[in-house]
Amino acid sequence: MSLTSATTSAPDASTRRAPKQRRSWAWLGVVPFFAFLVIFLIAPALSVFQKALFDSDGNFGVDALKNAFTGQNRAAFVFSVKLSALSAFVGVVVGGLLAYTASTLRRPRWLRTFISSFSGVAANLGGVPLAFAFLALLGRQGLLTRIINDGLGVDIYRSGFALDSTAGFVFVYSYFNIPLMVLITLPAVDGLKDSWREACANLGGTSWTFWRRVGLPVLTPALLGGFLLLFANSFSAFATAAALTTKSTLVPLRIGFYLGGDFSSTGEQQLGYSLAAWMMIIMVVNMGIYYVLRRRSERWQQ
């Protein structure tokens, strides 16, 4: 993409005479990018809404959107939300603690670098290989399952555990949620200056006071933002879930179920699209709040 625009980059008095012309040229530069996004991202997304709102005869109706909250789909929403919230919570707590560790532990000196590098890697792992790893660990014939069975005499599966239960999913999803939280929170925790701690102590406060009055309030935007990001991450995870279970008890899995079947007779195809539409709506709200929070938390990172 080479532009042969004749305008120079240094503004001078002459350009003030024709500011409009200059601006319209500049817009051209980002048109390819916008066009690309429209074709390959916006258009498919809008098609989903179109399919969800207009049935096969072309009539507009929100029935499909409403029906997305009935029956098994409703159960899927409940499960997905519950699961995402729980795994986000676990991620925030453990990830936050790990970030705090990386930030405050002075010795060993390589620990912080190691934790942040490791998090950079692990946050992007996931999907199919991760599911296989956990199946090997905690599946019915998993190594840990057997160890717990032999060592503690507890058959976790008989006690109600399963990799595709809430506990199982939270356990697996934490593998990429915790590192992601570390990555997001590390800059924020770094921003907690030592001088604040000392000042608090000098004024007679304890460690608990420090956290309650200074630390947590400062970190709250980052923690909340982290929660939202982890929530979004967990809610939309498909690959890991698909490799872990054959059931369709989560929203992404149900969408996959509807996409892969032949529902032309029952008209259930539209349900799949309405599920996808709702998923996007939830994501928009979620990421919207996240965006605002991130802006606020960046204030403390100067």
Partner 1 sequence: MQRKKFSAAAFALALTITVAACGDDDEATDTTAATAATADTAVTATTETADEADTATTEASEEAEEAEPATTAEAEEADTATTAAGEAPMTEAPDLSEAIAACEAEGNKVNLIALPDEWANYKGILAAFGEKYPDIEYPVSSPNASSQEEVDAILTLAGQDDMPDSVDVSPAVGQSMVEQGLFEPYTSVYDAEIPAGLKDPDGHWYAAYYGIMAISTNTTIVDTAPETWADLANPEYAGQVSLNGDPRESGAAFAAVVAASLANGGSADDIMPGIEFFAELQANGNLASADITPATVLSGETPIAIDWSYNVPGLAQQMADQGFEFETHFPADGIYGGYYEQGLVTDSPHQNCSKLWLEHILSDEGALGYLEGGAVPARITSLTERGLVTDDMKVNLPADELLDQVNFLTQEQVAAAKEALAENWGPMVADA
Partner 2 sequence: MSASAAGRRRLSNVIVPIATVLVCAVYFVLPLIAMTRFSFQSIPVINLRWSNLTSRWSFDPVVEPFRDEQLRSAMYLSIKLAVATVFATMALLIPTTVWVNLRLPRMRSIIEFLTVLPYVIPPIALVAGIRVVQPHARWFLNSHYSLVPFYVVLALPFTYRALDAGMRALDLKTLVDASRSLGAGWGTTLRRAIIPNLRTSIVSASFLTATVVLGEYTIASVLLKPTLTQELVVFQQSNGQQGTAMSLLLLVATTLLLGVLTIVTRKRGGASVTPV
Instruction: Kindly list the distances between the CA atom of residue 112 and the CA atoms of 37, 56, 105, 171, in Å, as whole numbers in the listed order.
Output: 38, 56, 8, 24
Give whichever of 76 and 115 is closer to partner 1, judged by the CB atom. Answer: 76
Structure-token pair, residue 220: 């709250």
Site for partner 2 contains 279 (CB under 8 A): yes
Site for partner 1 contains 246 (CB under 8 A): yes
Site for partner 2 contains 256 (CB under 8 A): yes
Judged by CB under 8 A, the stretch of 88-96, 104-112, 224-232, 262-270 that binds partner 1 is 262-270
CB atoms within 10 A of CB 157: 15
Site for partner 1 contains 269 (CB under 8 A): no
Site for partner 1 contains 245 (CB under 8 A): yes
User: According to CB under 8 A, which one of 56, 71, 132, 193 is a site residue for partner 2?
Assistant: 132
Judged by CB under 8 A, the stretch of 28-36, 37-45, 55-63, 72-80 that binds partner 1 is 72-80
Instruction: Give the closest residue to 131 by CA, choosing from 92, 164, 91, 89.
Output: 164
- CB under 5 to 8 A by kind: which of partner 1, partner 2, none does 234 bind? none
Site for partner 1 in 6-45 (CB under 8 A): none
Reduced to 3 states (helix: H, G, I; strand: E, B; else coil), residue 54 is strand
Site for partner 1 contains 129 (CB under 8 A): no
CB atoms within 10 A of CB 95: 27
Supply the minimum distance, in Å, between the C-beta of residue 157 and partner 2.
13
User: According to CB under 8 A, which one of 55, 164, 190, 298 is a site residue for partner 1?
Assistant: 164
User: According to CB under 8 A, which one of 68, 76, 122, 170 is a site residue for partner 2?
Assistant: 122
**DSSP assignment of 133-159, as one string?**
HHHHHHSTT-HHHHHHHHHH---TTTT
Integer Cα distance of 81 and 255 in angstroms: 15
Residue 63 sits at the vertex; the CA angle it makes with 60 and 68, to the nearest 5 degrees, is 130
Site for partner 1 contains 248 (CB under 8 A): yes
User: According to CB under 8 A, which one of 11, 61, 217, 260 is a site residue for partner 1?
Assistant: 260
User: According to CB under 8 A, which one of 48, 53, 65, 76 is a site residue for partner 1?
Assistant: 76
- CB under 5 to 8 A by kind: which of partner 1, partner 2, none does 76 bind? partner 1
Structure-token pair, residue 8: 């120079």
Contact 99, 189 (CB under 8 A): yes
Backbone angles phi, psi at 159, to 5 degrees: -85, 5
